[in-house]
Amino acid sequence: AQKITQTQPGMFVQEKEAVTLDCTYDTSDQSYGLFWYKQPSSGEMIFLIYQGSYDEQNATEGRYSLNFQKARKSANLVISASQLGDSAMYFCAMSPWGGATNKLIFGTGTLLAVQP
Amino acid sequence: EAGVAQSPRYKIIEKRQSVAFWCNPISGHATLYWYQQILGQGPKLLIQFQNNGVVDDSQLPKDRFSAERLKGVDSTLKIQPAKLEDSAVYLCASSLGRGDEQFFGPGTRLTVL
Residue B99 has pLDDT above 80, yes or no: no
pLDDT at residue B12 is higher than 80: yes
The amino acid occupying position A65 is S
Across the interface, do B107 and A108 touch by the CB < 8 Å criterion? no
**For the segment B59-85, what is each residue's pLDDT rounded down to a tens digit?**
999 999 999 998 889 999 999 999 999
Alpha carbons B22 and A83: distance in angstroms, whole number: 35
Taking the Cβ of residue B103 and every Cβ of chain A, the question of whether any pair is shorter than 8 Å is answered with yes
Per-residue pLDDT tens digits for A4-44: 999 999 999 999 999 999 999 999 888 899 999 999 998 88
d(C-alpha A50, C-alpha A93), whole Å: 10
- pLDDT of B101: 84
Query: Confidence class of residue A97 from pLDDT cuts 50, 70 and 90?
Result: confident
What is the 8-class DSSP label of residue B16?
Answer: T
From the list A65, A63, A73, the residue with the least C-alpha distance to A107 is A73
Count of other CB atoms within 10 angstroms of residue A80: 13
Give residue B25's pLDDT band: very low, low, confident or very high (50, 70, 90): very high
d(CA A92, CA A34): 7
Considering only CB atoms, B56 lies closest to which of A46, A50, A101, namely: A101
Is B105 in contact with A44 (Cβ distance < 8 A)?
yes
Predicted pLDDT at B1: 66
Q: For residue A45, what are the contacts with CB-CB under 8 A and spacing of at least 6?
A: A37, A38, A39, A91, B43, B91, B93, B104
Option in B41, B89, B98 nearest A43 (CB): B89
